[in-house]
Amino acid sequence: MEYILTIVVPVYNEEGNLKRVEKELLNYIKIASVTTSVLFVNDGSKDQSQDLIEVICSRNDAFHFITFKENKGLSAAIKAGFDTVQSELVGYIDSDLQTTPEDFNLLLEYIDTNDLVTGVRINRKDSFIKRMSSKLANGIRRAFTKDGMDDTGCPLKIIRTSYAKQIPMFRGLHRFLPAMVMLQNGKVIQIPVRHFPRIAGTAKFGLRNRLINPLMDCFAYLWMKKRYINYKIDKQD
C-alpha cells in the first residue's frame, strides 16, 4: 500500500505506554482521512521498549521501526524519522500520548494550503511549573524567531516531507520546526488540539531543558538563519 502520511513516534523508555500507543494508532488509522503508517524511532531505550516495538510491528503491517544504538535525544529521533519516511506527509506524536492521534485529522484539514501544521495544546493537563516554564520558553523563542507560534513544543505536527527532509540537524530541533520551515519560505499554521495527563512513564524534560537550553538554542538559530542557504532553480537542462 502507498501511504500518504507516516506518523513518527519517538520512543525512550516508554514500555508502559506502548500497548496503548499501538491501540490508539490502530484506531486512528481506521478513521484517518489519508492512508497512514507508523514509524517508531527507538532512541536507545534501556527498558523493554524495543521488544514491545518489535512485537507490535510484527503484527501490524502499517507499523515499522528504526532503533538507535544509543540515546541521542528527541531531536535526533525526530530527524531520523524525517530522513527515513518516503510518504508525501510526515506527522509527529510523542509516545506518552498526551495528545491524541485523532487530532491529526484536524491538522490534515489545513495541510493543502500549508507546509507545516502544528497543534496548540489547550487546557493543558501539566503541572503549574511545567506550564509556566513552557509559556516563558515559548515567549523567548518567539521573540528570537518571529515565527508567531504559541506552542512549538506541542507533540502533534504534520509537515510536507519535502520540507522536513531539508531541515538541518541540531539539538533542540523539535522546538524550531515551524521556524525552520519558514526559513525555506514555507507556510505554517497552528491549530488548537486536545491535551491529556501522562498515564505511564516519566517526563524526559526538566526545568533546565525547558528554559536554559532553549535560550541557548535561540542564539544558535539566529546564527543559522543569518547563514542559511535557500535557493530555487529557475531553469534546468
Distance, CA of 53 to CA of 44 (rounded, Å): 12
The pLDDT value recorded for residue 195 is 83
The pLDDT value recorded for residue 71 is 94
Rg (CA), the chain: 17
Average pLDDT over residues 18-31: 96
pLDDT in tens, 79-109: 999 999 999 999 999 998 999 999 999 999 9
The pLDDT value recorded for residue 210 is 58
Question: CA-CA distances (angstroms) from residue 155 to 58, 61, 75, 79, 85?
Answer: 26, 24, 12, 14, 18
Average pLDDT over residues 169-180: 82
Work out the burial of residue 194: count CB atoms within 10 Å of its CB; fewer than 13 is exposed, 13-18 middle, 19 or more buried. Answer: middle
- The yes-or-no verdict on residue 133 having pLDDT over 70 is no
Which of 76-85, 173-182, 191-200, 223-232 is predicted least confidently?
A: 223-232
Work out the burial of residue 155: count CB atoms within 10 Å of its CB; fewer than 13 is exposed, 13-18 middle, 19 or more buried. Answer: buried
Which has more pLDDT, 180 or 132? 180
The DSSP output letter for 130 is H
The pLDDT value recorded for residue 212 is 67
Average pLDDT over residues 135-157: 76
The pLDDT value recorded for residue 161 is 97
The pLDDT value recorded for residue 123 is 74
- The yes-or-no verdict on residue 1 having pLDDT over 90 is no
The pLDDT value recorded for residue 132 is 64
Can you give the residue ranges of every domain in the chain? 5-227
Cell reading at 221: 538559530
The pLDDT value recorded for residue 112 is 97
Confidence of residue 138 (pLDDT cuts 50, 70, 90): low
The DSSP output letter for 113 is G
- The closest of 195, 196, 198, 197 to 122, measured between CA atoms, is 195
* Mean of all residue pLDDT scores within the chain: 87
Which has more pLDDT, 1 or 73? 73
- The closest of 18, 56, 51, 16 to 37, measured between CA atoms, is 56
- 5-227: what fold? Spore Coat Polysaccharide Biosynthesis Protein SpsA; Chain A (3.90.550)
- Tell me the three state secondary structure of residue 117: strand
- The closest of 10, 82, 78, 80 to 49, measured between CA atoms, is 10
- The yes-or-no verdict on residue 206 having pLDDT over 60 is no
Geometric angle at alpha carbon 153, from 3 and 201, rounded to 5°: 85
Task: Report DSSP letters for 163-204, one per residue.
Answer: HHTTSPP-TTGGGSHHHHHHHTT--EEEEEE------SS--S
The DSSP output letter for 89 is E
